[in-house]
Chain A
């Protein structure tokens, strides 16, 4: 280093502002809070006296959807949605300490049913329903798209539940968590419910262990507060409160039990691919539609087959990759799983699932956000601009089936 460099270095160092007055107190509080959460979860999950293990892991056929609350940049539409059926903040903590192995046996409870595809649930009941604490037996809840089933034993404790998780792309290893395919190609979660000591009215803290451990190995725990009564399941701690009114569990469904013995297999050499622009130009798919999230904010590329099925889904952004699966009852609505790569550095990734309506003009997300279609011929230029901003990070993508 020369003297000039020394002076430049001095200038750079002198520029760094001192932290604000509450900087360290905020950080200390945050660290204490994280530590308390971790200790509490680990203690509760590992102590039989305190834990009600929820082991009835099956899945419904209804594809998941979250209701995005896009508060910041458009690119975070998916990330602002909550992983796993839109529930809970993601708290990535030590998998070995917190992951509850998925148990595939059903505790003898009758399998649950699902509403017919597209069946609506009376949403008006969500605003007033409170109800009593749930009694024994099975209670089913739905917001019209997601069905949650709760089994309660005679002593009032949970014996099982089921939540659909519709990740279209099942990727990862299964070191600690046994993963299972959902009917729509998604994965299941392990769940554990811990009664809240401050509540006697059915308030539970629910931890949801993550679904996928990608090749570089990660696992995360989503923790959320659920209030569960006979008429309403409410999930708080979210950007918005999610409310699931009770529905008729209906008759049993054989589809649910099939999944319990269907593990997810991952090719040993699986890796996200990093296509170049030239590769993208030659991706299969005759009917390509491109969308933009805005300047330097990423580009979506969808390839459709002649019969309208989705052949490829790609997000031109180094932080995210996506896959999309057509919903059961619509030609233009897709359940889109987004893998957020932004946290790769500290070893974890995040998957979010959203519902998008896709046509030749725009993508419409369920919260009303829209992304306009662009001329695919301009994609290369826009990618170059994004690349100039974002650096040389790869653009992960992988094909998905229709």
Chain B
């Protein structure tokens, strides 16, 4: 953990600079959970407010960015949970989905079809995928962010991959 990474911003200006530097990755987690641009923005603002108000509770045991990821993830999950934003697409509808465009290798699916599969995944599985496959976090780091055991995260990744393989057949 670099000194910069571990530095704790103390005021609005330094906090703003910090989150600007990490926003893209943080947004990725929120997006993975809520899957809506406007709602992602809402979640991010709420999460940043929580984090800024709770800066004093950051204990420095993990990287600041890890702590922020965790807050964003929980905020997004709460949003989905409380706002009833969970998607309930009909499986058959998805099965009959006619995707097009380029194929994303590793999944055997077209891009549009892969997007549809992502929609169908559990929000927490998507977040795990985003952290590990999208941003290159280790399983241990992702486990810290998601507040789950490493094995649980591994199960999420495995489950998501199986879904992709299944729909790719």
Q: Which residues in A have some Cβ–Cβ distance to B below 8 Å?
A: 1-5, 7-9, 11-13, 15-17, 19-20, 23-24, 26-28, 30-32, 34-35, 72-73, 75-76, 91-97, 218, 296, 319, 342-343, 345-348, 389-393
Using Cβ atoms and an 8 Å threshold, which residues of chain B touch A346?
Answer: 50-51, 53-54, 57-58, 67, 71
Using Cβ atoms and an 8 Å threshold, which residues of chain B touch A393?
Answer: 147
Using Cβ atoms and an 8 Å threshold, which residues of chain B touch A75?
Answer: 81-82
Using Cβ atoms and an 8 Å threshold, which residues of chain B touch A4?
Answer: 105-107
Verify A392–B148 contact, CB threshold 8 A: yes
| CA of A12 to CA of B27, assembled, Å | 12
Nearest Cβ in chain A — how far from B101, in angstroms? 11
Using Cβ atoms and an 8 Å threshold, which residues of chain A touch B61?
Answer: none
| CA of A125 to CA of B106, assembled, Å | 70
Nearest neighbor of A342 in chain B, beta-carbon distance = B78
Chain B positions 1 through 44: 1 when the CB is less than 8 Å from some CB of chain A, otherwise 0: 00000000001100110011001100110011000011011001
Q: A35-B11, A76-B82, A347-B57 are in contact. Are A342 and B74 (CB under 8 A)?
A: yes
Using Cβ atoms and an 8 Å threshold, which residues of chain A touch B114?
Answer: 11
Chain B positions 53 through 87: 1 when the CB is less than 8 Å from some CB of chain A, otherwise 0: 11111100000000100110010001001111010
Partner of B83, one of A5, A73, A347: A73
Q: A7-B105, A31-B12, A391-B148 are in contact. Are A319 and B81 (CB under 8 A)?
A: yes
Partner of A345, one of B20, B82, B147: B147
Verify B136–A9 contact, CB threshold 8 A: yes
| CA of A23 to CA of B47, assembled, Å | 13
Verify B51–A35 contact, CB threshold 8 A: no
Verify B31–A15 contact, CB threshold 8 A: yes
| CA of A26 to CA of B84, assembled, Å | 25
* 6 residue pairs bridging A and B, Cβ less than 8 Å apart: A4-B107, A8-B104, A12-B32, A34-B49, A343-B74, A389-B81
Determine chain B's interface SS by DSSP, over half rule. Answer: helix
Question: Considering only CB atoms and an 8 Å cut-off, how many residues of chain B contact the other chain?
Answer: 59
Nearest Cβ in chain A — how far from B61, in angstroms? 12
Verify B54–A92 contact, CB threshold 8 A: yes
Q: A19-B27, A32-B12 are in contact. Are A2 and B44 (CB under 8 A)?
A: no
* A-B residue pairs, 4 tightest by C-beta: A4-B106, A347-B57, A12-B134, A346-B54
| CA of A156 to CA of B148, assembled, Å | 55
Q: Which residues in B have some Cβ–Cβ distance to A below 8 Å?
A: 11-12, 15-16, 19-20, 23-24, 27-28, 31-32, 37-38, 40-41, 44-45, 48-58, 67, 70-71, 74, 78, 81-84, 86, 104-107, 111, 114-115, 118, 122, 124, 129-130, 133-136, 147-149, 152
Verify A296–B83 contact, CB threshold 8 A: no
Nearest Cβ in chain A — how far from B62, in angstroms? 11
Verify A16–B105 contact, CB threshold 8 A: no
Determine chain A's interface SS by DSSP, over half rule. Answer: helix
| CA of A13 to CA of B11, assembled, Å | 30
Nearest neighbor of A389 in chain B, beta-carbon distance = B86
| CA of A389 to CA of B49, assembled, Å | 26
Nearest Cβ in chain B — how far from A401, in angstroms? 30
Verify A35–B28 contact, CB threshold 8 A: no
Verify B106–A2 contact, CB threshold 8 A: yes
| CA of A345 to CA of B77, assembled, Å | 12
Q: Name the residue in B23, B28, B105, B115 with the highest tally of chain A Cβ atoms < 10 Å from its Cβ.
A: B105
Verify B83–A11 contact, CB threshold 8 A: no
| CA of A35 to CA of B81, assembled, Å | 29
Nearest Cβ in chain A — how far from B138, in angstroms? 11
Q: Name the residue in A16, A24, A95, A347 with the highest tally of chain B Cβ atoms < 10 Å from its Cβ.
A: A16
Nearest neighbor of B82 in chain A, beta-carbon distance = A73
Verify B44–A12 contact, CB threshold 8 A: no
| CA of A337 to CA of B92, assembled, Å | 43
Using Cβ atoms and an 8 Å threshold, which residues of chain B touch A3?
Answer: 105-106
Verify A13–B104 contact, CB threshold 8 A: no
Nearest neighbor of A343 in chain B, beta-carbon distance = B50
| CA of A218 to CA of B44, assembled, Å | 23
Verify A94–B83 contact, CB threshold 8 A: no
Given known contacts A30-B45, A34-B12, what 13 new A-B pairs fall within 8 Å (CB)?
A5-B106, A8-B104, A11-B107, A13-B135, A17-B27, A17-B31, A17-B40, A27-B44, A73-B83, A319-B81, A345-B70, A389-B122, A392-B149
Verify A16–B27 contact, CB threshold 8 A: yes
| CA of A7 to CA of B110, assembled, Å | 12
Nearest Cβ in chain A — how far from B15, in angstroms? 6
Nearest Cβ in chain A — how far from B158, in angstroms? 13
Q: Name the residue in A4, A27, A76, A343 with the highest tally of chain B Cβ atoms < 10 Å from its Cβ.
A: A27
